[in-house]
Amino acid sequence: MKQYRLEQADKNLFAVYQVIYSNSDIEMWYDWNTRLNDTKFTDQCFWIMSDDDRIGGVVKINDTVMFPFIIPPFSDRQQMWRILLNCCKDIRNINGVLQDDVDILVSLGYKVNVNRQVMCCPTGASKKPVIPNGLSLYRLDDSFDITKIKEVMKEGYRGGIDYEIFGVPNDEKIMEDISYLLQVYKHRNLSIYVVNEQNQEIVGLCIAGISENMPLGFAEIGELCVVPQYRSKGIADFMLNYIKESANSYTEVVKLCVTVGNYAEILYSKAGFQAGPRFARMTKRSM
């Protein structure tokens, strides 16, 4: 009878196997070295062993596993998960689960918390960005009092699947997120906000830019929101095209990450964003 176990792996060799055998660039890095480095963030890398043969690999940190893969000629994904869960009975959270594995893990007692996907688009506006009548555009930078957009962000979370899954963050978390993103994009800040000229209300914003550490120099959209009463007026579409046009002077690609099922998926697709592989975050169901 075969003996199964986890065996500590050298993280550099593990990263090579993970990139090759995961068959999925879920972050849409489009770059070999970046994908390797994305896996090397920890030395908690393990081979899944069948006697003396490597049949797969996984990163395991406490009760969380991520980056699972199978090594040919072994090919039974369901058996791989059964082996892993038997070897590690403390696994509660599984991140970066590909769609091939979701049904398997549901049958083994796990539930999907959220499905996400990265989307990429060439820069350069697919159509000329024309701001809707009665609205004005402003740059969002370090000189701006970010407390003024706190409520816009909060309202932007209301409704839709993100609201159902995550709810509305508190004021402190919102301010922390805004400050963090503006710092990340400080190298090449492309962030904007839109104001209703009649009442001077901020009705939408897009926090975007290029980080010094962004692979291949891609631009990224970190947040895009429009307050509910101003939705379906072309504001989000305008902001997307404006960011694409603004980023075109510096890079060829802009990317973002979206929750699967978010209404914005359709907006992004219409704006030319191509979706990468879907990946889930799953948690063990309570007994």
Taking only the tens place, the pLDDT of each residue in 253-278 is: 999 999 998 888 999 999 999 999 99
pLDDT at 287: 66
pLDDT in tens, 213-228: 899 999 999 999 999 9
What Å distances lie between residue 71 and 56, 64, 77, 96, 278, CA to CA? 5, 21, 10, 18, 21
Cα–Cα dist 239/135, whole Å? 12
Q: Please give the share of the chain, as a percent, with pLDDT higher than 70.
A: 100
**120-279, what's its fold?**
Aminopeptidase (3.40.630)
How far is Cα 274 from Cα 118, in angstroms, rounded to an integer? Answer: 8
pLDDT per position as a tens digit, 75-105: 999 999 999 999 999 999 999 999 999 999 9
pTM: 0.91
Domains of the chain by residue range = 4-108, 120-279
Q: Which amino acid is at 53?
A: D
Question: Between 170 and 121, where is the model more confident?
Answer: 121
Pick the CATH number of 4-108 from 3.40.630, 3.30.1360, 3.30.70, 1.20.120: 3.40.630
- Nearest by Cα to 91 from 58, 64, 56: 64
Structure tokens at 229: 């009463």
Asked if the domains 4-108 and 120-279 are classified in one and the same CATH topology, the answer is: yes
What is the pLDDT confidence band of residue 41, given thresholds at 50, 70 and 90?
A: very high
Residues 246-249: contacts with CB under 8 Å, at least 24 apart? 246/190, 247/123, 247/190, 247/208, 247/210, 247/219, 248/123, 248/124, 248/125
Task: Look at residue 143 and tell me whether its pLDDT is greater than 80.
Answer: yes
Note every long-range contact of 80-83, with CB atoms under 8 Å and residues 24 or more positions apart, other chains counting.
80/48, 80/55, 80/56, 81/105, 81/108, 82/108, 83/4, 83/48, 83/50, 83/55
Q: Residue 1 contacts by C-beta under 8 Å, 6 or more apart in sequence?
A: none
